[in-house]
Structure 1
Amino acid sequence: MTDQDWRVYTGTGAPRGAPIDNLPKPPPWRRFPGSGHVEARPVSDGGETSRRIGDAANRWHLSTDHEVAMVNAAIYLRRPLLVTGRPGTGKSSLAYLIASELGLGPVLRWPIGSRTLLKDGLYSYDAIGRVQAASARPHDEPDIGEFIHLGPLGTALLPYELPRVLLVDELDKGDIDLPNDLLNAFEEGEFRLDELVRISKQQPEVTVMTDDWGSTATIRGGRVQCRSFPIVIITSNGEREFPPALLRRCLQLHLEPPSEKQLGAMVAAQFGPTEGVDVARLIGEFMQRSEEHGGLAADQLLNAVHLAVELVTAGVHQPSDPEWKSLLSAIWHPLQSRSV
């Protein structure tokens, strides 16, 4: 067997033209019998993927061989992939590359903050809105499904035939209990909606809104269970350690700062040809500045390239050295504060 034979994901991010149809079978202990009706996943994400990882025709060398291997291992084992690394190393972009190449629809993104709870990712129930609607329509009781909205995690666990890609972004910023709270959802691939469980005998099926704009899903018995476990990318900037129980259920991938080749690929994906701009020189200066200041983010390079392209377009082909160096100093500012 060659290296390419087993790889479902190749790392190019280039769409295949149709959703993948040859996913490997999951391990017996990661097979889920989810049932129920869910609308077909949206095809378009409104340009979000292109905004994050650039034009599909120019996505090349964005992932290393090790990154590709780890993504494939996570797909085979149906396990979340915990991606660590400095800010700006492309952790979040990995989810968009996977979804784009495998044709799995828009990425379901769950940004984590200090007050984020597990339920925020699963679903929300607008009880006050339902009471107000009932008061406004006393002879026409509103359907409870109109007031339930699945979150990114809840939508990812719907019984799709093909997995969705879920990005749990910056989990290390969340409450200390959140990683442990995620364990059951990741291990069992299911969750309950208590408000629907209570009325399941009177109303066994309820149609609710999903995290995909304008889409709905039908929930049976107040329970959601996946059929194909989602491809879960969890990112962390390393601000704190995670409990062993979560680490045991994840594969771990540490991303090193992008190489010169990868930076060139990022610029090509975002800008295509850049006539009049010496991109190679900019990348070299960026890498030197990054080494001097303890690491810069790749988007700081993209900001500099964009400004250089705009200056060329405006007819300022070569700004004066002091002016340009001043601009670069402002754009390439250190990400870490230094003690005086």
Structure 2
Amino acid sequence: MPTAEKLDLEVIEQYLEWKKTNENCSAKTVIKYRKVLEQLNIFLDCQYVEATLGKLEQFSGGYLHRMGYSAASRKVAVAAIRGFYKYLYQRRHIQDNPAVHLVYPKSGRRLPRAMGLHSAEAILLQPDLSEFSGIRDSAILALLLGCGFRVSGVCGLNESNLIWYKHQDADRLAILLKEKGEKERMVPVPSEAMLLVQAYLGHPTLADIDRLLENGDQVLFVNMRNRHIPEWEHRGELRRLSSRAVDRMIKRYAIAAGVPEDQAHPHALRHLFGTELAESDASTLQIQSLMGHSDPKTSAIYTHIAMRKMTTVLDKGNPLGKINTPVSELLREMQKGRKV
């Protein structure tokens, strides 16, 4: 058993490596957990074996709050602490687990800010299809909007992730996607997005680009230049388009299309995908499967913002539409003129 004198930082690294290997923890989460646990080590003056529930509550509450952590960020901290002490207890590094009753701070759940269909259409029509980069951008935008992919998942695609199959005697495409800690899911691709991907794959410019990886696979979406390396080294993995480049691309097209700034980001496209699934009566489980949510509660949010569907139900069933009101005659006239 480790001494009470100090928390060996190697134990933290062993825990984080275990999280990556056994729970497919993403690289971003590992970085957040490491920062929290190193701060905890300082707070406890390296006396982690002697930690009490009270001490852990002080750290995850007032201490982190004074350091500028929001309630949502402190939830991540509590998850790191609980997981770390559970790991120590199961491996008998400690005799008792003081974090087993450590509670998560309460915080509100933000509703996604979805892009409107009109704005999405305006962005999709921005790329110049006479240029190779325009065809590439159109294919990426179509996958983000038509499949609800995260940018990291699209940028991480290789050609082997494209699965071609027959459906009702027609050629179709599905994509084996890896997102958020190497979690895999298979997603069918809309025919519109499939055609754009095919146009991209068949472009002569792509044939001249060396995107071969060491394992024999090929990077799917490529960048056109990389100022940080010599031209002769611009190949293979270094040809992969970055998430940051896609973020900038979407913002550029959104500004050109006059789309509001708060919708000029990739997640607005993803949220529109989820909202339209809910509007089309997809179940929470179907939304969860297509969008790759680990928690069905996240998927259920989209059923709460499916406004067109709720408006139709409301207009059909609300009692005001079944009786005379002071504005009933006015409303009928307005409906004749399609003003409401």
Q: Give the TM-score range, shorter chain.
A: under 0.3
Structure number with greater Rg is 2
Identify, as 1 or 2, the structure richer in strand: 1
TM superposition score normalised by structure 2: 0.24
The alignment's TM-score, normalised by the length of structure 1, stands at 0.24
Q: Could you say which structure has the higher helix fraction?
A: 2
Higher RCO (C-alpha under 8 Å, 6+ residues apart): 1
